[in-house]
Chain A
Amino acid sequence: MSAGNIVPRGRRPKRLTPERVGLHAFLIICALFFLTPLYVMLVTSLKGMPEIRQGHLLALPSAPGLAAWGKAWFAACTGLSCNGIRVGFVNSLRILIPSVIVSIAIGAVTGYALSFWRSRGAVLLFGILIAVAFIPYQVFIYPLVRIFSHLGINNSVPGIVVIHTIFGLPTMTLIFRNHFAGLPEELFKAARVDGAGFWRIFGAIMLPMALPIIVVAVILQVTGIWNDFIFGLVFAGRENLPMTVQLNNIVNSTQGEREYNVEMAATLLTATVPLVVYFVSGRWFVRGIAAGAVKG
């Protein structure tokens, strides 16, 4: 696959043909389908409980209010403390940022090394990584807890960062390896002729060309790490519990009336960071591709 022109090809058709109208209409209908769950959550979070109990899922709120949002952020009770889910927000960030950086860095380097190393060992390593990606990660919890406690990093932020790196490695390695393997060999031959070594090629040539894949990697890791619950619960330690733990306490409390509006607001608040990353990264996605373009 040649890294040809990355911006959409040709001029934008100016004429309003039935084809163009149909195309846009179809896309809009698809977009509505994709937006419906978000719409339902938003609308529910703005309604009061009496209105929700009536059960008209798609109806707009009759008297929209942000009370549920305020309660979710500031005052929702999770156990004895009624401080809302903001408690975990900072923790989630403290876990997210180093985990994303470390896991992508190691994944990129590993993918790069594997794409140019043609030994049995490399294939075996890659095979192990792929196989592990398919296993429900819960089976690893107990042995890792024992290992971590021996290493002394249990219940700490470094511990949870290592965990996310461990479990992000297969997917990260896969996508980076595939990407690098798809690049033309001439690039490397030229760089080798110029006398560049392993790391130099990586830093000067591979990384800039990997921008679109880095965006995909960031999307995958931000989603996985931010939304993670069980690892944060087991490995992060009481002082570092992520937002998802508070969210679980609000949404999965089995007794008492389910305040669906607060639950939806809490859920949307928890989903904000990945959502923002997504809406922003769309633009960078295209720019990244354009920046990595190589004219053949």
Chain B
Amino acid sequence: MLQRQLVASAFAALLTLAGHAKADELRAEVIHWWTSGGESAAVKVFADQFNAAGGIWVDTAIAGGANARTAAINRTVGGSPPSAMQFNTGKQFDDLVENDLLTNVDAQEAAQSWKAILPAAFVQAVTRDGHAYAVPVNIHGQNWLFYSNDALARAGVQPPANWDELFPALDKLKAAGLIPLAFGGQKNWERNLFNNVMVGRGGRDMFIAVWGKRDVATVKGPEFRKVAESYKRLRDYVDPGSPGRNWNDATSLVIQGKAGMQFMGDWAKGEFTAAGLTPGKDYGCTVLSDHGMAYVMGGDVFAFPRLKDANQIKAQQLLARVLLEPATQIAFAQKKGSIPVRLDLDTSSLDVCARKAAGWIADPNAQVPANEMLSPPALTGAMEDIISQYWNDPAMTPDAFVSRVASTLSQQF
């Protein structure tokens, strides 16, 4: 077996070294960061579908989004670009478009009628100057609340329906000796939690005003201050071991019933599934939103660098088409825990949490673009530093936080 593998890989290496691709081969090298077990199973759906459609998927997986994007961008700039590269839905590839390094996918957009079947925010997120430059492939909800039914039962707590009910529930969990809120203390999760509080308590408009319009007046208003206070209050409900913890180790606490709840994106479902838990039965999923449902939608896209070889360009076009086909979308969503980015599909085969989400986003007013779609990475990063400081420093008051945020939003990025 090993022998055969060695021979096969030697043969493949020889072919690559010799550079003799068959004349009509549709090879596409894809750089992405989906390296863990569950993620690999999901990206395998893309690979299998692409291969079945006549292409050859060459996989270059690099763990860590930042690492993968760094490698992809440097290779593109350095003259040996991949055929496709993964980004988060948002502004991460702006500079590549500005420097004319990406090829547009207008043809696919027209052929598949994106404006009709994708959420408007997602079409906008991949469009620059009227041209589409990337293919969105999923919708990940970022502001879920997961809870352990067992832990809540032991503490005598009902799942909260809104933010006002949340704090008494957390108090009861604390009294029962459990960790009320499982939390992974890393900067991006501190920011994610803040976003959750802001969109939940402050509403969709505040979220867009802060991240998208950078409206300082909103930040200095009383509603935002309430959001800041609620955020700080949550700190009392996490355990001392939370700084630096990975988010999935926090999910593990909920899985084991040691913690009651966790605010996390829907990729956390993979952890529960891997542990053999069923949504609805063993754990629950909900979104706490005080001003009507507000579902924060993020996700991933694939962008296509400019290539010269005609076959490789055909491969790119084939890949762009395959990614959005209904069968691909549903199979991928099942493995990844996201929901399909196409709104026109039958989602009854997805799990109960995904079905809830699909129902919610049928209403455009519930759709909230993620902050990656509203602000450039530089602004997101600067805000992240402030939010993280606010979360971790007991001495920082809500007023100090508000003034820092206001001054950051006024900077040019």
- A positions within 8 Å CB-CB of B: 77-81, 83, 141-142, 145-146, 148-149, 154-155, 230, 233-234, 237-239, 245, 248-258
Contact = CB atoms under 8 A, between A and B. Distances in A.
A262 to B, nearest CB: 11
B70 A233 contact: yes
A221 to B, nearest CB: 24
Contact of B79 (A83, A149, A251): A149
A234 B77 CA distance: 11
Nearest to A251: B63
Given A146-B78, A234-B71, A248-B64, 12 more contacts: A78-B35, A79-B43, A79-B61, A230-B70, A234-B70, A234-B74, A239-B13, A248-B63, A249-B61, A253-B36, A255-B37, A255-B271
Which of A79, A230, A238, A256 counts the most B-chain CB atoms under 10 A from its CB? Answer: A79
A80 B248 contact: no
A267 to B, nearest CB: 14
A257 B271 contact: yes
Contacts of B29: 238
A141 B61 CA distance: 21
Given A248-B64, A253-B39, A155 B78 contact: yes
Which of A145, A230, A256 counts the most B-chain CB atoms under 10 A from its CB? Answer: A256
A251 B67 CA distance: 13
Contacts of A230: 70
A233 B71 contact: yes
Pairs A-B, 4 closest by C-beta atoms:
A79-B61, A253-B36, A256-B36, A149-B79
Main secondary structure of the interface of B (DSSP, over half): helix
Nearest to A145: B78
Given A233-B70, A239-B16, A79 B246 contact: no
B40 A79 contact: yes
Interface string B31-63: 010111111100110010000000001011111
Interface string B360-373: 00000000000000
B401 interface: no
A254 B77 contact: no
A34 B127 CA distance: 55
B270 interface: yes
A276 to B, nearest CB: 24
Given A254-B247, A254-B248, A257-B271, A79 B74 contact: no
Nearest to A248: B63
Given A142-B74, A142-B77, A154-B78, A254 B61 contact: no
Given A233-B71, A234-B71, A258 B61 contact: no
A79 B37 contact: no
Contacts of B43: 79-80
B67 A248 contact: yes
A250 B246 CA distance: 15
B144 to A, nearest CB: 15
Given A77-B37, A78-B61, A154-B78, A256 B13 contact: no
A155 B61 contact: no
B80 interface: yes
Contacts of A250: 35, 63
Interface size class of B (residues with CB under 8 A): 35 or more
B74 A256 contact: no
Contacts of B236: none
B74 A145 contact: yes
B75 interface: yes
A250 B64 CA distance: 10
A255 B38 contact: yes
Contact of B35 (A77, A146, A234, A238): A77
B78 A254 contact: no
B274 interface: yes
A159 B307 CA distance: 22
Contacts of B16: 239
Contacts of A249: 35, 61-63
A257 B248 contact: yes
A137 to B, nearest CB: 14
Contacts of A148: 78
B74 A253 contact: no
A218 B74 CA distance: 30
A247 to B, nearest CB: 9
A154 B79 contact: yes
Contacts of B275: 257
Contacts of B34: 79
B252 interface: yes
19 contacts: A79-B34, A80-B40, A81-B61, A83-B5, A142-B77, A145-B74, A146-B78, A149-B79, A154-B78, A249-B35, A251-B63, A254-B246, A254-B247, A255-B36, A255-B39, A255-B271, A256-B248, A257-B271, A258-B249
A79 B60 contact: yes
B248 A79 contact: no
B70 A258 contact: no
Contacts of B32: 79
Nearest to B267: A255
Contact of A80 (B61, B63, B270): B61
Given A233-B62, A248-B67, A258-B246, A79 B35 contact: yes
B247 to A, nearest CB: 7
Contacts of A255: 36-39, 248, 267, 270-271
A80 B71 contact: no
Nearest to B184: A254
Contacts of A245: 62
A208 B361 CA distance: 75
A146 B101 CA distance: 14
B62 A254 contact: no
Contacts of A239: 13, 16-17
A81 B59 contact: yes
A255 B38 CA distance: 7
Contacts of B62: 79, 233, 245, 248-249
Contacts of A258: 246, 248-249
A254 B270 CA distance: 12
B98 to A, nearest CB: 16
Contact of B38 (A81, A83, A237, A256): A256
Contacts of A233: 62, 67, 70-71
